[in-house]
Amino acid sequence: MSLCVLHMGPGLRIFVSLFFPLCHLPPPSAAANLRPGAEQKVVFITARVHPGETPSSFVCQGIIDFLVSQHPIAKVLRDHLVFKIAPMLNPDGVYLGNYRCSLMGFDLNRHWANPSPWAHPTLHGVKQLIIEMYNNPKINLEFYIDIHAHSTMMNGFMYGNIFEDEERFQRQAVLPKLLCQNAEDFSYSSTSFNRDAVKAGTGRRFLGGLLNDTSYCYTLEVSFYSYIVAGTTTAVPYTEEAYMKLGRNVARTFLDYYRLNSLVERPLAPTPKTRKEKEPLFKGTTLQGQGTSHVGSKLEKRSQTHPKDQSLPTQ
């Protein structure tokens, strides 16, 4: 997918084509063969819509690295789910070093309702792809997760939507609860579900209202600073590796959600090493029963020293 970026200067207008990456795991050729005749279950993940929120890229990198690895869990996930990942929704803003806006000065995460192919090309392209999948009877888009970084709160946490259907609302809470069990830095107590009017143009709010009742949309937030492990009061500073670990745990949580644990190949028990034949403990001992054994000699001497009492009845 290409991105058209407009650079404006004194009397100058230049269109530059930049590469907008979109990861498809497994590749489309392999995904076509997932459970023939069944709907493809799709998880769509986006990140870095706000260019200054760099931790979101590390979390997304952790997800991608895990899913393309040879880990047994990753193999099962690739066999049963399709992951579509747009790791950078605002590449021009990242290139320019902006904190929140694109080159055109827009906060892209407020324009999901009506993105312009000219002013918001990445949003427009991703939205069109999501709508195509939504209208495809062979595809079931079950999750949309938009990854962000938070400047004031700690830990990882999620924002979800509020639904009139109580059952759907309860089902929406399952994924963050499972993630809380898998990731020590994720806080379910900080997770909230809302219908805030100022968030109406976000991906979570818009897609949550667009997709059907089997789809769940979240904003995954992670702190710029630190996290507190449950049951402790010590703040642990986040590192790049800690962000990527959260990403790996996000991916692993889908194994629990879809109850695919029984399909994971368990590592075989290590083959015991062949022990070398040990030298006899006593020089006179022989495996063939040949020669005189010191052990046998000691037993003979012991029986001679303490002869059996002939007065005892033989049993």
List domains and CATH numbers for the chain: 19-263 (3.40.630.10)
Q: At 15, which amino acid appears?
A: F
Q: Residue 212: name the closest of 154, 306, 142 by CA.
A: 142
For residue 147, the model assigns a pLDDT of 98
For residue 199, the model assigns a pLDDT of 85
For residue 244, the model assigns a pLDDT of 98
For residue 190, the model assigns a pLDDT of 97
For residue 266, the model assigns a pLDDT of 76
For residue 287, the model assigns a pLDDT of 43
Catalytic annotation, residues: 221
Q: Residue 131: name the closest of 57, 258, 42 by CA.
A: 42
DSSP per residue, the chain: -EEEEEEEETTEEEEEEEE---EEES-HHHHTTSSTTSPEEEEEEEE-SSTT-THHHHHHHHHHHHHTS--HHHHHHHHH-EEEEES-S-HHHHHHT-SS--TTS--GGG-SSS--TTTSHHHHHHHHHHHHHHH-TTEEEEEEEEEEEESS--SEEEEEE--S-HHHHHHHTHHHHHHHHH-TTB-STT-EEE--GGGTTSHHHHHHHHS-TT-EEEEEEEESSEEE-TT--PEEEP-HHHHHHHHHHHHHHHHHHTT-GGGSPPPPPPPPPPPPPPPPSSTT--TTS-S--HHHHHHHHHHHHS---TTSPP-
For residue 200, the model assigns a pLDDT of 86
Predicted model pTM:
0.77
For residue 21, the model assigns a pLDDT of 62
Q: Residue 145 and residue 196: Cα distance in Å, rounded? A: 18
Q: Residue 59 and residue 253: Cα distance in Å, rounded? A: 14
Q: Residue 192 and residue 265: Cα distance in Å, rounded? A: 36
Q: Residue 219 and residue 159: Cα distance in Å, rounded? A: 5
For residue 286, the model assigns a pLDDT of 43
Mean pLDDT in each 10-residue stretch from start to end of the chain (315 residues)?
38 42 66 64 96 98 95 94 94 94 94 93 93 94 97 97 89 97 97 87 93 94 96 95 98 97 74 48 45 45 46 43
Can you tell me which residue has the tokens 């979800």? 160
For residue 34, the model assigns a pLDDT of 58
